[in-house]
Amino acid sequence: MAHVLYEIHGSHPCVAVERALQLKRQPYKLRELPPAFHVPLQWLRFRRLTVPVLVLGSGETLIGSTTILHRLDELVPEPSLLPADPAARARVEEAERWGDEVLQPAVRRMIWLGIKRNPHALKGYAKGSKLPVPGPLQTPTARLVCRLAGWRNRADAATLQADSAAIPGWLDHVDELIAEGVVGGPQPNAADLQIGSSLRLLGTFADVWPQLSARPAWQLARRAFPSYPGEGEIPPGTYPIATPAPALAAAAAA
């Protein structure tokens, strides 16, 4: 019996879980929920406010990307998302936790503020959605959704400034994890999926692209997630991010 994944279209943790299901060749159905308005729906259904939620074919309910990835790995050991070696597993789990607790919420704050400043971008991020918004309603819908989602995720000018300033450090950290062999291997692990999905969404921001495009971190994200809705939808000037100087850009590409 097919699993059922409750998700928001384009949500990075939801994308990570869906990729894990694909890697493990698990049959699944999608139940797409409207962003922001999913909160009361999820509360009524699961007594939780978040996505993703995976209801296994057995009826077992799993809530949250980390819980889902780990349980899938228990039920379907190959291809493995977590190393068998205890020390290697601990390193992957530490990287996964950072991706879940630090990178993921920051990118979520940034995307909602980005769409708030550029409501037209919602159309690109909704490409492929089963819940299309009629053209005349797209801008007012985007503004309402962003207001609700921004409030819930505590996204404001102060967090935007802090998150934007943190991006180089995040990318350095991911590149270090790749150099150490924790992520970026031939087969994606749980940390690849958690981190890569956030980086893939981050790569749709034009202001971030010059810092990200030449990095090993971007190659990791592209391997795990070859395509992503919203490519280039958030235009330059949205985030307080300085474009790298040519010398720095050349050094990053070397």
CB 51 within 8 A of CB 38: yes
CATH class of 87-253: mainly alpha
Which is it for the CA torsion 8, 11, 15, 16, positive or negative?
A: negative
pLDDT tens-digit readout, 94-150: 999 999 999 999 999 999 999 989 988 988 998 899 886 666 566 677 777 778 777
Asked if pLDDT for residue 232 goes beyond 50, the answer is: yes
Whole-number Å distance between alpha carbons of 140 and 117: 12
Helix (H) or strand (E) holding 43: helix 38-46
Amino acid at the residue 49 = L
Asked if pLDDT for residue 45 goes beyond 90, the answer is: no
In this structure, of 31-45, 70-84, 203-217, the range with the lowest mean pLDDT score is: 31-45
Whole-number Å distance between alpha carbons of 24 and 250: 39
Buried b (16+ CB within 10 A) or exposed e, 140-156: ebbeebbeebbeebebe
Whole-number Å distance between alpha carbons of 91 and 120: 40
Q: Model-level pTM?
A: 0.90
> Distance of alpha carbon 62 from its chain centroid, rounded?
18
What pLDDT does 138 receive?
Answer: 65
CATH class of 3-75: alpha beta
| Residue range(s) in the chain whose domain bears CATH number 3.40.30.10 | 3-75
Amino acid at the residue 82 = L
Pairing of strands 3-7, 28-32: parallel
Which stretches of the chain are assigned E, i.e. beta strand? 3-7, 28-32, 53-55, 61-63
What pLDDT does 133 receive?
Answer: 67
Which of left, alpha, beta for 179 (phi over 0: left; psi -120 to 50: alpha)? alpha
